[in-house]
Structure 1
């Protein structure tokens, strides 16, 4: 065994392979290439004098020796990171953290949270991606995202989550469309807009349509809430919109609530991360995010 030739990056790479399940996912997380990850693991096996991976065609799994090394080294590397942060604090932390968020979270709590995060960790690079909840959870599970702000509830054994509050939903249209719809004098079905089927708002829209006088065939889908808001503003129909995203439009009279429509349950939001991620920086960000209250952030 040539332990003096084993570097921290060898062990860090091994841990990320175990956490994310594949060499390619670990390579993406470490901002390197899959051949580089494979080379590191060959070096580690050679220097330890043992086989860490069992190869079966195109798939790989950890051997008993590999699993033991992961179990033994994970707390050691975490303690080392904590020690280094203890000397300089989170102001000295570095690296890249990928944050995923839905449009609603991005419009309510994310801007202030990111500003506070950058003030505490100025050397940590942030990559923010806005997407639908279903995509955010998949990206989190595959290691493409580290932290996600998503509509809940979220239930997966590989993820830990914390609730961060609810966002109200409102029926809105332009003043002219809302007035015509209220009088029932439209000769054609009024177009209704909803987020795509992967969004929790879509389910609420379907339930609300069944309880209202809206024609089912008038439902249209869009995967971008801001685009739907713009369509409604120019008289293109009515829709259910998250309250934090339409305050300005209501304030200037570009959109107006529609009376006598079915009540809408609010959308609850959670922050989520992988259970296997124990890096102090990620844990700190998750803990800070778990303290958010969307009611306060949207006020």
Structure 2
């Protein structure tokens, strides 16, 4: 057993393969190629004199020896990283942190948060992906992202989630559309805009329409709240919009709140990470995110 030839990158590679499930995902996470990952595994197996993976059809699975090594080295790897972070500080930390976020969080608290984060961790590269909540959770579970800012409750045994505040929802329209709507023309077709069906706001919209004075409103879907706000500004209909994203339009009078519409409960937001993630940098970013106050 050539244990003195085993490098930290060998163990890091093994742990990421186990965490993400495939050689390809580990290669993507470690910013290298799949052949390079395969070569590292072969080197580690040669140094240990044991097989760590076996092929099952088109997939690879850990052998009993591989599972034992992962079980023993996982906590040690986390402890080692924590020791190094305490020695050099997070100002010297490097690597890639992938953050998934919904559009509302991205447009409100995220810019200042990321700016402060880069000042304290200048060598950590950030990759931001904006998507709907249902996709954000799936990306987090599969290891494509490390941290997610998502709307609605997050309940999954593999995730840790903390609330970061709520965002109010308002019925909004341009002044002309609002005047016509309030003048008693509620029996006409009114263009209504909502986020796509996987968004928590979509469910609120459908419930509110059912309880409102809109008789036969045509529901239009869009996966971008900013575009819908612009459509409403141009007189293209009414909709339920996040107050935090429409403050400028409300202040300028480009949009006004519709009167007499059903009350809307705010949308709760959470930040989440995988419970199994032992990366000190990820934990540090998550702890900072938990201190945010959305809205």
- The reply to whether TM is greater than 0.5 is yes
Compared CA separation, residues 95 and 216, structure 1 to 2 (3 A): farther
1:174 corresponds in structure 2 to: 174
> Displacement of 1:247 after TM fit?
0.2
The aligned counterpart of 2:63 is: 63
Secondary structure at 1:38's aligned position in 2?
helix
Q: Deviations over 1:50-79 (max 9, x none)?
A: 111122111122122111111111122212
| RMSD between aligned residues | 1.3
| Bigger mean CA deviation after superposition, 110-119 or 193-202 | 110-119
Contact 2:188 2:215 in 1 (8 A): no
Residue 174 of structure 1 deviates from its aligned partner by 0.2
Q: Which residue of 2 aligns with 1:184?
A: 184
* 1:204 Cα offset (Å): 0.3
Gaps of 5+ in 2: none
- The TM-score with structure 2 as length reference comes to 0.97
CA displacement at 1:190 relative to structure 2 = 1.0
Map 1:151-166; keep pairs closer than 5 Å.
151-166=151-166
Shift of 1:18: 1.0
Q: Is the 8 A contact 1:52 1:66 kept in 2?
A: yes
Higher mean C-alpha deviation, range 249-258 or range 43-52: 43-52
Q: Kindly indicate whether residue 8 of structure 2 is the aligned counterpart of residue 8 of structure 1.
A: yes
Name the residue aligned to 1:268: 268
- What is the distance in 2 between the residues matched to 1:187 and 1:150? 36
1:47 CA displacement = 1.3
**What does residue range 11-90 of structure 1 map to in structure 2 within 5 Å?**
11-90=11-90
- Tell me which stretches of 4 or more aligned residues in structure 1 moved more than 4 Å: none
Q: CA shift at 1:253, angstroms?
A: 0.4
- Give SS of 1:127's match: strand
Match of 2:282 in 1: 282
What is the Cα deviation at residue 122 of structure 1? 1.3
- Cα-to-partner distance string for 1:204-234 (whole Å, 9 max, x where unaligned): 0011011112245510000000000000000
What SS class does the counterpart of residue 137 from structure 2 fall into?
A: helix
> More displaced, 71-80 or 258-267?
71-80
The DSSP-based 3-state class of the residue aligned with 1:61 is strand
Structure 2 distance, partners of 1:154, 1:215, is 34
Contact 1:161 1:270 in 2 (8 A): yes
Q: Which string of whole-angstrom CA distances, capped at 9 and with x for unpartnered residues, describes residues 145-186 of structure 1?
A: 111100121112221111111110000000000111111237
Structure 2 CA distance for partners of 1:268 and 1:292, relative to 1, 3 Å: same
Tell me, yes or no, if the aligned pair for 1:209 and 1:216 is still in contact at 8 Å.
no
Distance 1:276 1:12 in 2: 15
Residues in 1 aligned to 2:48 and 2:27: alpha-carbon distance in whole angstroms: 22
Deviation at 1:187, TM superposition (A): 7.2
